[in-house]
Amino acid sequence: MSQIYERVALIGLGLIASSIAHAARRAGVAGEIVGYARSAETRGIAREIELCDRITETMQDAVEGADLVILCVPVGVMGDVAKEIAPHLADGATVSDVGSTKRAVIAAVQPHMPGHIHFIPAHPVAGTEQSGPRSGFETLFDNRWCLLTPLPDTSDAKLETFTQFWRALGSNVDFMDPDHHDLVLAVTSHAPHLIAYTMVGVADDLSRVTDSEVVKYSAAGFRDFTRIAASDPTMWRDVFLTNKDATLEILGRFTEELFALQRAIRTGDGEHLHDYFTRTRAIRRGVIEAGQDTDAPDFGRGGPN
Ligand SMILES: NC(=O)c1ccc[n+]([C@@H]2O[C@H](COP(=O)([O-])OP(=O)(O)OC[C@H]3O[C@@H](n4cnc5c(N)ncnc54)[C@H](O)[C@@H]3O)[C@@H](O)[C@H]2O)c1
Ligand SMILES: O=C(O)C(=O)C[C@]1(C(=O)O)C=C[C@@H](O)C=C1
């Protein structure tokens, strides 16, 4: 793969930035990768593991001369970071982000962007419950979606170059309206995280269920909940505060369905339960048969019942 950007600046050296650094290096798409982290400890780790070609002490030094700048910080501070870097951005640079919500990030960042800058919001739909500069790995984005929510006046040429960048990192790229993005992610990521947090909180509240029992006896479903509930609290606080409407809409619907299932259990309405679980199973199998879940076991094609 050949170089796409001369200098890529990563602001905030956590899971996503460190994965971008590894994947960009693997693909050879950046002439130089420059990183900025606000804490001296993180900068020290980043230097020690040689995460980037250069680690800077200030955001200004990181973005100066960069033709691509990616904001890899929690969504709640995107606006502050955008404001701080704005005067130092190179002429015609592309600025992007990796935030899990898009409408609020656009509202926070766009007003600070000078006219010569091309702001292209992005969301790689790939992650783990880990955080920090050591947690990244080069295959994180392989075969995952990266959703771009370009603004109406985005230059076609800059968008094409940026799309090539994410494809080179291993992602499939798709384009979405920011509000639609936030609604889709509320269903597929944000509400499920809140449900996992709640379920683990409930288990923790039960006096008989000690921490060790939760881990020791957890079946696959609950094990996934505990993994997800170990995700970064700052990141997820910001996700919910910046995707309020869509998350509340989905949680409202979720609660209605949950009450209906609760009622079916109480009244012994096995038919309702069976019909419901049959419908949800068909959805899962449909996804697998359509080839949309590359991680999934082969249940949909004649595997175990
Ligand atoms: N973790 C995931 O699964 C995942 C997946 C896709 C997108 N995202 C998004 O990516 C972004 C980063 O998430 P992450 O998982 O890499 O988090 P992380 O906690 O691993 O890294 C975030 C980094 O930002 C730094 N930071 C926080 N506030 C800052 C500030 N004001 N100025 C400079 N640096 C600051 C933190 O110190 C940390 O190093 C978030 O917006 C998140 O929504 C996360
Ligand atoms: O696998 C995980 O740990 C994740 O939760 C990753 C996940 C997701 O919900 O799929 C979480 C938030 C992101 O914005 C994108 C990806």
Where are the domains positioned within the chain? 5-176, 180-268
Instruction: Determine what percent of the chain falls in helix, strand and coil, rounding each to the nearest 5.
Output: 55, 15, 35
DSSP assignment string, 115-161: TT-EEE-EEE----S--STTS--TTTTTT-EEEE---TT--HHHHHH
Superfamily the domain 180-268 falls into = 6-phosphogluconate dehydrogenase C-terminal like domain (1.10.3660.10)
**Ligand 2 contacts CB of residue 191 (under 6 A):** no
Sheet of 172-175: strand order equals 122-124, 145-148, 172-175
**Strand 54-56 vs strand 68-71: parallel, antiparallel, or unpaired?**
unpaired
Domain at 5-176: CATH architecture: 3-Layer(aba) Sandwich (3.40)
Look at phi and psi of residue 180 and say left if phi exceeds 0, alpha if psi is from -120 to 50, else beta: alpha
Give the model's pLDDT for residue 209.
59
Examine the pLDDT at 101 and tell me if it is beyond 60: yes
> Using 50, 70 and 90 to split pLDDT, how confident is the model at 301?
very low
d(CA 95, CA 107): 14
Does this chain's domain 5-176 share its CATH topology with 180-268?
no
Q: How many CA atoms lie within 13 A of 90 on its CB side?
A: 16
Which of 149, 189, 227, 234 maximizes ligand 2 atoms within 8 Å of its Cβ, making it the mutation to test the pocket?
189
N-terminal to C-terminal alpha carbon distance within the chain? 43
Q: Nearest CA to 247 among 182, 199, 177, 179?
A: 182
Is 234 a residue whose pLDDT tops 90? yes
Per-residue pLDDT tens over the stretch 10-37: 999 999 999 999 999 999 999 999 999 9
User: Per-residue pLDDT for 7 more than 90?
Assistant: yes
The per-residue pLDDT for range 161-177, each reduced to its tens digit, is: 999 999 999 999 999 99
Which one has a higher pLDDT value, 185 or 283?
Answer: 185
Report the amino acid identity of residue 247.
Answer: T
Higher pLDDT, 196 or 289: 196
Percent of all residues in the chain with a pLDDT value above 90, rounded to a whole number = 82
Q: What pairing do the DSSP bridges indicate for beta strands 145-148 and 122-124?
A: antiparallel
Say which residues have a Cβ less than 8 Å from residue 120's Cβ, sequence separation at least 6.
94, 95, 96, 148, 150, 151, 154, 158, 159, 162
Averaged over 146-172, what is the pLDDT?
97
What percentage of residues in the chain have a pLDDT greater than 70? 91
Residue from 42, 72, 141, 185 to probe ligand 1 pocket by mutation (most atoms less than 8 Å from CB): 72
Angle (CA) 172-85-104 rounded to 5° is: 55
Structure-token pair, residue 278: 């049959």
pLDDT above 60: residue 75:
yes
Mean pLDDT of 116-138: 97
Is the CB of 100 within 6 Å of ligand 2? yes
ipTM surpasses 0.95: yes
CB 46 within 8 A of CB 133: yes
DSSP label of 169: T
* Tokens linked to 280: 């949800």
User: In the prediction, which pLDDT does 144 show?
Assistant: 98
Per-residue pLDDT at 296 exceeds 50: no
pLDDT of residue 132: 97
Residue with CA closest to ligand 1 atom 34? 12
Task: Output the CA 155–ligand 1 centroid distance in Å.
Answer: 27
Beta partners for 97?
71
Shortest-distance ligand to the CA of residue 97: 1
The dihedrals phi and psi of 95, each to the nearest 5 degrees, come to -115, 135
The residues lining ligand 1, judged by C-beta closer than 6 Å to any ligand atom, are 12-17, 37-39, 42, 72-75, 77, 80-81, 98-100, 124, 127, 131-132, 232, 235, 239
Global pTM reads 0.93
**CA–CA separation, 101 and 122 (whole Å):** 9
Residues paired with 32 in a beta bridge: 7
Query: Given the DSSP bridges, would you call strands 94-97 and 68-71 parallel, antiparallel or unpaired?
Result: parallel
Task: Give me the pLDDT at residue 265, please.
Answer: 98
